[in-house]
Copies of this chain bind each other. A is one copy, B any other.
């Protein structure tokens, strides 16, 4: 039986994919630094040499995980953002999809927010740039809605997006498939809370008058 095509695990995915899948799971379970290359290749049924043939370094696996996740999310966001309907309808669809995607990529998301800081500088910058583009595309949807008058304009769009994304990205820290709420329910509640909070006429309360204007978020921080 040829190595790299099926292997002891019986999976038919090509070796690079299999390694990535195994690594994602192990990183999510035990942490990036607590997972040795040895464990990864053993779980994939190959040897180290095989892994280094496809990935130049351990952090290449990490980078690839991030890169793919962001590519998937960006591609889907484009589709929903560019679809038909009112800005609110499109934002809702996009927001629902963000959560859906998050639930189907929980491991990737877990690894993302736990271990991004472990990437070497170059790769970390690259990931951050991708993530910013994604953030900005989502923000532009909110801005559209604000201009159209569907959403309150007294909250910086940037901030609203960070607020929503923050809530979504932390799902990995508390949600569990055996819990009382299934993924779809969480998604609908979260989108509801977000959009209602954003709806015009909310009014943040008197003490918010004179809050800072719509200053764009220049930096997304260090991740």
Q: Which of chain A's residues 85-122 have a Cβ closer than 8 Å to chain B?
A: 92, 113-115, 117-118
- List A154-190 residues whose CB lies under 8 Å from chain B: 155-156, 159-160, 162-176, 178-182, 185-186, 188-190
Which of A43-51, A62-70, A74-82, A191-199 binds B? Answer: A191-199
Closest B-chain residue to A207, C-beta based? B188
Residues of chain B with a CB closer than 8 A to A92's CB: 205
Classify the interface of chain A: helix, strand, loop or mixed.
helix
A181 CB contacts on chain B under 8 angstroms: 156, 159, 212, 215, 217
Task: Decide if A212 touches B179 in the complex (CB within 8 Å).
Answer: no
Q: In the bound complex, do residue B179 and residue A221 qualify as a contact, i.e. CB atoms below 8 Å apart?
A: yes
A14 within 8 A of B: no
Contacts of A190 in B (CB 8 A): 159, 163
Q: Closest B residue to A175 by CB, please name it.
A: B221
CB distance from A18 to the nearest CB of B (A): 24
**In the complex, chain B residues whose CB is within 8 Å of the CB of A113:** 113-114, 170, 173
Kindly identify, within residues 196 to 221 of chain A, every residue whose CB is under 8 Å from any CB belonging to chain B. 196-199, 202-205, 207-208, 211-212, 215-221
CB-nearest residue of chain B relative to A171?
A: B166
A residues touching B (Cβ–Cβ < 8 Å)? 30-34, 92, 113-115, 117-118, 155-156, 159-160, 162-176, 178-182, 185-186, 188-199, 202-205, 207-208, 211-212, 215-223
